[in-house]
Structure 1
Amino acid sequence: MKFGLYGLHRDRNVDPTVLARRARLAEEAGFESLWVGDHIALPAGEGNPPRLEAMVALTYLAAVTSRVRLGVGLIVLPQRQPVLLAKQLTSLDVVSGGRLTVAVGAGYVEPELNAMGVTLAERGARTDEYLAVMRALWAAAPSFDGRFVSYSGVVQHPSPVQRPHPPIVVGGHSAAAYRRAVRQGSGWYGWGLDPDETAQTLTVLAETARREQRPADLGELEITITPPVPPDLDTVRRYADAGVDRLIIELEGLDDAEVEGLIAAVGENLTGRI
């Protein structure tokens, strides 16, 4: 079992000193990865905490760490311009020394999507096409002609350190997300699932995999879950028995002492024991 930490882009962590200290603590504690989320403009009046933009947060994390992997998940793909995003992700992979993992989703917050010029109805089609655009650019294809994006006679350099590109993880709990994960993802990311819900969802994923054609070069689908609450050792074992490969622990709702205590506790009690 691998352990990630989610949330170093928001709340108190927007203070760069706090962000750097906690990232280094997590790296020393043995966390496999640090993850940030992606919301650009959320509905007003919902008590949303301050948050750093995902690409900026990851760049800073790359600079203050040296070994831990860096994940963006879920990046709301249809609200990002994919030619620019491909360059940003390549640059992050290069400056981090090949430590980047990219988790993508279609999004669900309609006012946010609308503010970025995207309708809810076209988010799935954009997600699939944007993935194709980024893969084309990472493969140095000089042209692409799609419904939403077209380019001709251009390439991007350098290439990502990880070839052919950083791992692409697909998130979401819809039938379309499961199909996208099987067809295009190196992994699937589920949010807020307890062990029983995880087992039920993985059954659905397995059924989807029997119906869909998975490219051989993608290998076995890696499963990542963020539990609803930080798990104890017995709960971690239940996730492992269900087939989970990585647990990403969320920091939301914890005060400063609890955050740093959790980081230390995971390192001492969980990492390396499963």
Structure 2
Amino acid sequence: MKFGLYGLHRDRNVDPGVLVRRARAAEEAGFESLWVGDHIALPAGEGNPPRLEALVALGYLAAVTERVRLGVGLIVLPQRQPVLLAKQVTSLDVLSGGRLTVAVGAGYVEPELNAMGVTLAERGARTEEYLRVMRALWGAERSFEGRFVSFSGVVQHPSPVQRPHPPIVVGGHSAAAYRRAVRHGSGWYGWGLDPEATAEALRALAEAGRDEQRPDGLGDLEITMTPPGVPGPETVRRYADVGVDRLIIDLEGIDDDAVDGVITYVGRDLAGPG
């Protein structure tokens, strides 16, 4: 089992000193990856904590760490301009030495999508097309003609360190998300499910796989889950038994004074024995 840490873009971690200290502590403790989330403009009045923009936060994390992988999950793909995003992802992959993983989703916060010029109804179609746009650019294709994006006679350099591109993980619990994971993803990312609910989701994912054509070269889907809370060793074993490859521990709800202890616990008692 691999372990990731989610949340160094949020709450008190927006302080540069705190972010650096905890990122380096997690790397030394044995975490496989550090993950940040993507919300740009959430509805007012919901008690939202301060948060850094995801790609900026990853660039900072790339500069202050050496070995740990870096993940954005989930980036709300339809509210990003994909030609620019492809360049940003490549830049992060180059500057991190090939440590980047990109998890994408279609989004669900309608006011946020609307603020970025996207309707809820078209988010799925945009997500599908934007994935094709980015793959075209990473593959040095010079033209693309789509419903939302078109270009001709352009190219991006350099190429990503990871070839043909950084791993693309698809998140979400809907039938559409499962199908998208099979079509496009090196992995699937679920959120907040216990081991039993995870097993149900993986059965639905397998069912989607029977109806979708998976491209050659992608291999088996790697399964990532953010569990509710911080799991103990027995719960970790239950996740492993149902087929989870990576658990990402979310810092939300953990008292700030306890975060450093959680990092040490996961590294020593969960990641260390494995």
Tell me the TM-score normalised to structure 2 length. 0.99
Q: Which residue of 2 aligns with 1:41?
A: 41
Q: Which residue of 2 aligns with 1:270?
A: 270
Offset at residue 256 of structure 1 (A): 2.6
- Residue type of the alignment partner of 1:245: D
The alignment partner of 2:201 has SS state of: helix
1:71-110 matched pairs, under 5 angstroms: 71-110=71-110
Offset at residue 208 of structure 1 (A): 1.0
Offset at residue 74 of structure 1 (A): 0.1
Query: Matched residues in 1 for 2:207 and 2:116: separation?
Result: 35
Q: Which residue of 1 aligns with 2:137?
A: 137
The alignment partner of 1:45 has SS state of: coil
RMSD: 0.6
Q: Which residue of 2 aligns with 1:203?
A: 203
Contiguous gaps of at least 5 residues in structure 2: none
The alignment partner of 1:216 has SS state of: coil
1:1-274 matched pairs, under 5 angstroms: 1-274=1-274
Offset at residue 210 of structure 1 (A): 1.4
Query: Matched residues in 2 for 1:191 and 1:209: separation?
Result: 20
Give CA deviations for 1:90-141 in whole Å, capped at 9, x if unaligned: 0000000000000000000000000000000000000000000000000010
Query: Matched residues in 1 for 2:210 and 2:216: separation?
Result: 14
Query: Matched residues in 2 for 1:273 and 1:239: separation?
Result: 16
Query: Matched residues in 2 for 1:206 and 1:216: separation?
Result: 17
The alignment partner of 2:271 has SS state of: coil
Query: Matched residues in 1 for 2:211 and 2:122: separation?
Result: 24
Tell me the TM-score normalised to structure 1 length. 0.99
Query: Matched residues in 2 for 1:228 and 1:255: separation?
Result: 15
Offset at residue 272 of structure 1 (A): 3.8
Contiguous gaps of at least 5 residues in structure 1: none
Aligned residues: 274
Q: Percent identity?
A: 82
- Residue type of the alignment partner of 2:216: A
Give 4+ residue runs of structure 1 displaced > 6 Å after superposition.
none
Query: Matched residues in 1 for 2:3 and 2:196: separation?
Result: 19
The alignment partner of 1:219 has SS state of: coil
